[in-house]
Amino acid sequence: AFEVELAKSGETVTVPEDRSILEALRDSGHKTVSSCESGTCGTCKTRLISGDADHRDMVLMDEEKGEYIMICVSRATSGKLVLDL
Ligand code: FES
């Protein structure tokens, strides 16, 4: 598991190994937009403020990977991700 911090509320949500960031956010009562939920459509694109992302999508270009994350499939390599949510 790893944690995501939601910058706008300061809230921290734990993402278990068997859940996506998107699912963990929904589990904790957050509304999040999505469509494909398989890393191909781009709908769930979220600004990444800090942290090391393990990008598993097919959407982001390399130059975007420091700044954005697709939260339906991607995860953290270690530690915590801070998202602009
Ligand atoms: Fe389609 Fe995440 S919902 S890329």
Q: Is 46 in the pocket of ligand 1 (CB under 6 A)?
A: no
Residue 6's pLDDT is: 98
Atom of ligand 1 nearest to the CA of 33: 3
Atom of ligand 1 nearest to the CA of 44: 2
Q: Of 18, 27, 10, 26, whose CA–CA distance to 75 is shortest?
A: 18
Q: Round the average pLDDT of the chain to a whole number and report it.
A: 97
Residue 76's pLDDT is: 98
**pTM of the complete model:** 0.96
Please state, in angstroms and rounded to a whole number, the distance separating the CA atoms of residues 9 and 49.
14
Tens-place pLDDT, residues 47-81: 999 999 999 999 999 999 999 999 999 999 989 99
- pLDDT > 70: what percent of the chain? 100
Return the H-helix or E-strand segment holding 77. strand 75-83
Residue 38's pLDDT is: 98
Model ipTM value: 0.99
